[in-house]
Amino acid sequence: MHTFEFMRPQNAAAAITTAAQAKTAQQGADVKFLAGGTTLIDLMKLEVETPSRLVDINRLPFDKIEEIPGGGLKIGATVRNSDLAHHPAVQRNYAVLSQAILSGASGQIRNMATTAGNLLQRTRCMYFRDTAMPCNKREPGTGCSAIIGSNRMLAILGTSEHCIATNPSDMCVALAALEATIHVQGPRGVRAVPIGDFHLLPGNTPNRETVLDPGDLITHVTLPPPVAGSKQVYLKLRDRASYEFALASAAVVISAAGGNVTRVRIALGGVGTKPWRSPEAEAALAGKPANVANFRKAAEAALRNAKPQTENGFKIELAKRCLTHALQTAANG
Ligand SMILES: Cc1cc2nc3c(=O)[nH]c(=O)nc-3n(C[C@H](O)[C@H](O)[C@H](O)COP(=O)(O)OP(=O)(O)OC[C@H]3O[C@@H](n4cnc5c(N)ncnc54)[C@H](O)[C@@H]3O)c2cc1C
Ligand code: SF4
């Protein structure tokens, strides 16, 4: 049986010093932070993760949501997903984030899950979660079982010959469309990472999923001031209406004047190896009349580089329809 030491530091510096002793902050880390535990404890039960030390961060003072003077929102790392989704400022100004969170998991899980934990949740690829199967993400160099196996749920954008795992988060797709910034405190000091740079493509090193190094603690996430008059929608398509991960999803934040799109931010979920912001779709719509024909053209642009696997070719058309419908719903909203 796997054993581990459990620690509950009283301040961030102590937590960082302990975690900085880990060999890596990525797959196989020997020291891990513990937040809500809904990803980590699951993976420890499966022996996919086997840390020798767990650093419980739940007592650190990162559980607040604060409006930033002058605009914007500061979201603490241990804010629970439920509290974030139901916060009045989020519902008022960042509706796409509230919708995305509430479309995920279940009420009980959202009550435990935290902002930082959600940013770092792991793929649901079945081979990653099964230690009897080869998986480059879990054990580099062993091969990818999904490319020749069951890949219906997996990614069509950002894949490599070494891994095609989908990033499963709904929250992160909304954060990508909102252009959030992730704030990290670590042995090298503090730094701010735009969400687009936070998650890594699998490339040759699918075991490395983010820019985090040993000891790096996410302290909070910030959102820029809301765009006045923008319409926001998160649309998630899945095999059943609740308690299911996305086959395809779209987060859109769109502004229009005189019938033309003046500003749009678009991100896709369920199809990418990371939360998938689409500059191609945004460029296709900028300045154009806000109508269904142009929404469809934007969707075509977003999926132009999609690479289907043996079982998930249907996701290309599904994602296009998802994005077209999300844009239409937002524009009519
Ligand atoms: C049955 C089930 C269904 C789900 N369905 C969905 C869904 O439909 N959509 C969706 O988006 N999600 C879904 N989830 C995932 C869920 O949202 C995540 O498990 C959750 O957000 C993780 O947060 P946590 O606080 O529990 O993380 P933990 O499990 O505590 O931690 C996750 C990882 O983050 C690290 N970590 C945590 N906090 C920090 C920090 N501050 N700094 C650095 N590292 C940190 C931990 O070390 C660990 O590696 C589902 C989960 C389950 C179990
Ligand atoms: S897709 Fe990635 S996570 Fe899934 S088996 Fe292949 S390497 Fe592992």
Confidence of residue 1 (pLDDT cuts 50, 70, 90): low
> So what's the pLDDT on residue 35?
98
Structure tokens at 212: 């985090």
Q: How many CB atoms lie within 10 A of CB 218?
A: 27
Closest Cα to residue 56, out of 33, 36, 85?
33
Q: How far is the CA of 116 from the centre of ligand 1 (A)?
A: 8
Q: Is the pLDDT of residue 2 over 90?
A: no
Q: Is the pLDDT of residue 128 over 90?
A: yes
CB 192 within 8 A of CB 216: no
CB 324 within 8 A of CB 299: yes
Q: How far is the CA of 155 from the centre of ligand 2 (A)?
A: 10
> So what's the pLDDT on residue 281?
98
Report the percent of the chain where pLDDT is more than 70: 100
Global confidence as pTM = 0.98
Give the ligand at the shortest distance from the Cα of 139.
2
CA 226, CA 166: separation in Å to the nearest integer? Answer: 29
Confidence of residue 74 (pLDDT cuts 50, 70, 90): very high
Pocket residue to mutate for ligand 2, from 122, 128, 142, 153, most atoms within 8 A of Cβ = 128
Confidence of residue 333 (pLDDT cuts 50, 70, 90): confident
Pocket residue to mutate for ligand 1, from 82, 114, 208, most atoms within 8 A of Cβ = 114
Report the percent of the chain where pLDDT is more than 90: 98
> So what's the pLDDT on residue 152?
98
Q: Is the pLDDT of residue 176 over 80?
A: yes
Q: How far is the CA of 118 from the centre of ligand 1 (A)?
A: 4
Pocket residue to mutate for ligand 2, from 123, 161, 207, most atoms within 8 A of Cβ = 123
Q: How many CB atoms lie within 10 A of CB 70?
A: 6
> So what's the pLDDT on residue 284?
98
Token pair 């990472």 is found at: 193
DSSP H stretches of helix in the chain: 12-19, 40-45, 81-86, 88-93, 95-102, 107-112, 115-119, 171-177, 195-198, 279-285, 292-303, 314-332
CA 121, CA 53: separation in Å to the nearest integer? Answer: 19
Q: 136 CB under 6 A from ligand 2?
A: yes
CB 195 within 8 A of CB 275: yes
User: In sequence order, what are the beta bridge partners of 7?
Assistant: 55
Which atom in ligand 1 lies closest to the alpha carbon of residue 81? 21
Structure tokens at 249: 């999803």
- Phi and psi dihedrals of 309, rounded to 5? -100, -170
Q: 171 CB under 6 A from ligand 1?
A: yes
Which atom in ligand 2 lies closest to the alpha carbon of residue 162? 7
At 268-303, the pLDDT tens digits run 999 999 999 999 999 999 999 999 999 999 999 999
> So what's the pLDDT on residue 266?
99
